[in-house]
Amino acid sequence: MTGDLTVSQDGAVLTVLFDRPGQRNAMTFAMYEGLEQACERADADDSVRVLVLRGAGGRAFVAGTDIAQFLEFTGGDDGIAYEQTIERVVNRLEDVAVPTVAAIEGACVGGGLALAAACDLRVATASSRFGVPVARTLGNCLSVNSVSLLVHHLGPGRTLDLLLRARLLSAEEASAAGFVGELCADGELDAALQELTTTLLGHAPLSMWAAKRAVTRLRRAGLPDDADLLRTVYGSEDFRAGVAAFVAREPVSWTGR
């Protein structure tokens, strides 16, 4: 595994640790690949009964994708390829046969929110925050697959409120919406996670597998193509300006082009 992502096993629980605390665990392409490999390991090893995802450092679960990688994009097709990669990883995580848990502290935004949404269960600390603020930061967009994950959990109205206002949900709001299944006090994530994984390890694997598969099939049924949306947004002047401004930590003026 990449040095920015570590995988460890404790009994029947396999844990993926996003380990770039200095960058709030922002995902590199290598980390996405490492997560896919961990999913393969979880399905190939009969001793694994639960897969846990969490971030290092206490400040973030995952604060999106490392923005510096977008500086290499030259047009809309790069955006399509990137979102197809995210879709592949998200769907692979969603397809893991055993229960998956996102253990969240701090920022869970952008690609991090998609990864958390692809997990079966989410437990979070009270200071955690959730959102996809790209409308005020980068000027890019989500794939239909990622939007469908948010609509699946939050409903269309709350999803549009989140995306159009580019705001972050508090942990209490995420819990009230049903996105976070268990909310714990700051500093108590380990105990809450231990209790949750113990519960899952005591339940019938095939019953849980069938429930997971049914929900996934319902979510993915009839998803439309989105290449036109991605090509337009990722190929825009606004996206190029947004990435440059974000990296330079400067304000950006949107033009709609």
Whole-model pTM? 0.96
Neighbouring-strand partners of residue 13 = 10, 50
243 inside domain: no
The length of the chain in residues reads: 257
194 inside domain: no
pLDDT of residue 31: 97
Domain that holds residue 13: 5-187
Mean pLDDT of 68-86: 94
pLDDT of residue 2: 62
53 inside domain: yes
State yes or no: pLDDT of 250 exceeds 70.
Answer: yes
236 inside domain: no
Mean pLDDT of 144-167: 97
130 inside domain: yes
Q: How far is CA 194 from the centre of its chain?
A: 21
Q: Give the CATH number for residue 100.
A: 3.90.226.10
Tally the domains of the chain. Answer: 1
State yes or no: pLDDT of 1 exceeds 90.
Answer: no
pLDDT of residue 120: 98
Mean pLDDT of 49-64: 97
48 inside domain: yes
pLDDT of residue 150: 97
Q: How far is CA 230 from CA 5, 157, 190, in A?
A: 28, 22, 38
Residues 6+ apart with CB under 8 A from 40: none
Identify the residue whose tokens are 């595994």: 1
27 inside domain: yes
Tens-digit pLDDT profile for residues 89-140: 999 999 999 999 999 999 999 999 999 999 999 999 999 999 999 999 999 9
Q: What is the token pair recorded at 106?
A: 């701090």
198 inside domain: no
Q: What DSSP string runs through 192-257?
A: HHHHHHHHHHTS-HHHHHHHHHHHHHHHHTTPPP-HHHHHHHHTSHHHHHHHHHHHHT--------
Q: Three-state SS for 161?
A: helix
Confidence grade of residue 69 (pLDDT, cut at 50, 70, 90): confident
